[in-house]
Amino acid sequence: MEVYKKILTETDVSTRLAVESNTIDKFFPAFGAGQYSQNLVVEDENGERWPFLLFNRQGPYGKPTISAGWRRFVMSKQAKVGDQVVFSKERVAASGSASSYKIRVVKQVKLFKSTI
């Protein structure tokens, strides 16, 4: 199982999830030639499926983001700046090449004004 983690920023919580460029090809489904967006369906810890749009901006410094559907997920999970989003990727046994994706939010914990 592969894992991608990110501490949420203000933009991640308010608009879209920015994904590091070097992660997009290693973790998320590959984009075809000339393709700049694709659907990505992930499942949360309760078995609920969340459809997102995975988008890679055009140009030499394309910045990948997860947009459509993302804000609804954030609101549902009450995710805040400083929380961590964790994606996991598992190969589907029947196909051998296809993958399934899971997602969860790990809440930031503060104890006596310190983040732990």
Q: So what's the pLDDT on residue 61?
A: 66
Instruction: Using DSSP, state whether 101 is helix, strand or coil.
Output: strand
Tokens of 16: 């879209």
Instruction: Give the global pTM.
Output: 0.81
Phi, psi for 95 (deg, rounded to 5): -95, -30
| Rounded distance between C-alpha atoms, residue 26 and residue 80, angstroms | 26
Residue 29 CB neighbours (<10 A): 15
| Rounded distance between C-alpha atoms, residue 17 and residue 112, angstroms | 29
Measured CA to CA in angstroms, residue 77 lies from 12, 55, 57, 107 at distances of 13, 22, 27, 10
Q: Is the pLDDT of residue 88 over 60?
A: yes
| Rounded distance between C-alpha atoms, residue 64 and residue 37, angstroms | 9
**Model confidence over 21-66: pLDDT tens digits?**
777 667 777 777 777 888 889 999 999 999 999 888 776 666 788 8
Phi, psi for 97 (deg, rounded to 5): -115, -25
Residue 35 CB neighbours (<10 A): 9
How much of the chain, in percent, has pLDDT values that exceed 90?
42
